[in-house]
Amino acid sequence: MSAIQLRNLVKTFGEFTALKTMDLDVADGEFMALLGPSGCGKSTTMNMIAGMEEPTSGKILFGERDMAGVPMGRRGVGFVFQNYAIFTHMTVRQNLGYGPRMRGAAKAEIDRRVGATAELLQLTPLLDRKADRLSVNILQRVAIGRSAIMEPAIFLLDEPLSNVDAAFRAVMRTELKQLQRQFRQTMVYVTHDQLEAMTMADRIAVMDHGVLQQVGTPLEVYNNPANVFVARFIGAPGMNLLRGRPAESDRGLVVDLGPLGVTPTLPDALAATLRGSRSEVLYGFRPEQVSLVQSGQGLAMPVSFVERIGARTVVHLGDGETAVKAVFDNNVGLSIGELAVVAPVASSVRVFDARSGIAMKAG
């Protein structure tokens, strides 16, 4: 059963269209991430789900109930903002217990909920500390706890980790997922950070310029991006894309990349789709899915830069429109100026129509 249904949802502000005909189902108990760059429409979408904005057209359903005209306070949703909103003159205990207390919960029930939430979010030692004495990291943890303690069926989080440090974000990713599982909540999480989306979400809705680009599991959007935007946006680094045209060779179908030469042979299923076409395509492969090969077996490109990042090394190859990146273990022996020959893992190659940017399906 879908906990949230968005049907033909549109939002305009004057002449600006922030969201263009969006359809999305969020299953009961699902962790859905709305992922995209600033201005893509993800926060606008969440604000409409919460009741803070009214759609220009279209419907929002919670289960089978139409939310048209239902104010935020009667939607039964929890909301955590990018900037924590807590009472700094209160203790952590008082902040966590504020919502249940306002709803008339018994003291024993408030104490039970506060204790369980504080333990889950590692706030137990801080329960009697005033909020104005806490770090930004801990304040955001309190803000999350204060919404979670109300046990809303739907929990909305708008970039809640943007203002905390990197180490704390890593901890909170785990805690948020545990929180969602414990309370069995449907969670919608807005972020521009693909690492947050990839590590926490059951599914990801990738957005750009008010348009829903793709919905899928983290592995689906990584391995099978629907279009060029998703291919480039997902991944660190994003997918390499080289312009060329399908061509026959004595080895089978390849992509002629012009000055770079031809690619290794395309997999049979992809070749079947492209055979006979001379339309321009974008040949795509992930930086992590390449290997160094002998001359004549791959793409020969000069090393322009080497980034050593802990356990891995990102090697920049070529320049301009033919620049690509390749990720290797940190013991790779490549230096700037050296000629490297790389070949993508055949099964990982993706091809996109150069004009539309849409992925070309194998077979």
Of the candidates 162, 218, 205, the residue with the CA atom closest to the CA atom of residue 23: 205
User: Where does residue 268 fall: left (phi above 0), alpha (psi -120 to 50 degrees), or beta otherwise?
Assistant: alpha
Helix (H) or strand (E) holding 7: strand 2-13
What the block records as the tokens of 344 is 């993508």
Q: How many residues does the chain have?
A: 363
pLDDT in tens, 284-331: 999 999 999 998 899 999 999 999 998 999 999 999 999 999 999 988
What is the model's pTM? 0.92
pLDDT in tens, 23-37: 999 999 999 999 999
pLDDT score of 330: 85
Q: Would you say 230 and 214 are in contact if contact means Cβ atoms under 8 Å apart?
A: yes
Asked if residue 187 has pLDDT above 70, the reply is yes
Estimate to the nearest angstrom the gap between the alpha carbon of 52 and the chain centroid: 23
Residue 126 pLDDT level (bands cut at 50, 70, 90): very high
Burial of 168 (0-12, 13-18, 19+ CB in 10 A): middle
Residues 214-241: what's their mean pLDDT?
97
What the block records as the tokens of 96 is 């966590």
What is the rounded distance in angstroms from the CA atom of residue 180 to the CA atom of residue 276? 50
Domains and their CATH numbers in the chain: 2-232 (3.40.50.300), 234-353 (2.40.50.140)
